[in-house]
Amino acid sequence: MQAVKSAKTGLERRLFAMLAGMGLKGWRKNAVDLLGKPDVAFDQQRVAIFVDGCFWHRCPVCKRKLPKTNREYWERKLERNVRLARDANRRLRREGWLVVRCWEHELRNPNGRVGFREGVRSALSERRKHRDAGARKKGRGRVSSPP
């Protein structure tokens, strides 16, 4: 358990370093006050980011094997993780959050990291457009010329 926990911490650290490296601001770590406790939350844009461990969330790509002992226990436990994550996605979306989920294996692989960075950027810019559109509708905010 302990070993697995620290592995998750390592992943989070990698995620935080990536976001910092992207020059992004306005995010906070471990948003335990939000549904599902996102690893990162951009509160203003309402973008929540999770990194899912491939074992803990039964990654369909890695297909990590369950421990041989206590199989049933593990099966139930991991299925519960998957279900809770799905539930958190749904509820966050209902509250206006955009949810970005990333697999552990993506963060471990250079191409995966590129894809993840793009995902985060596009989620944030989506939100910016959203907000600009809302501001225009309310008659405030300056309309900038399209790039």
Compare residues 24 and 62 and give the one whose CB is closer to Zn ion: 62
Closest approach, Cβ 67 to Zn ion, in A, equals 17
Closest approach, Cβ 22 to Zn ion, in A, equals 22
Compare residues 59 and 66 and give the one whose CB is closer to Zn ion: 59
Q: Which residues contact 19 (CB under 8 A, 6 or more apart)?
A: 27, 40, 120
How many angstroms separate the CA atoms of 138 and 134, rounded? 6
Considering only CA atoms, which of 35, 84, 77 is closest in space to residue 56? 77
Compare residues 60 and 96 and give the one whose CB is closer to Zn ion: 60
Closest approach, Cβ 42 to Zn ion, in A, equals 24
How many angstroms separate the CA atoms of 3 and 41, rounded? 26
Binding residues for Zn ion (CB under 5 A): 54, 59, 61-62, 103, 105
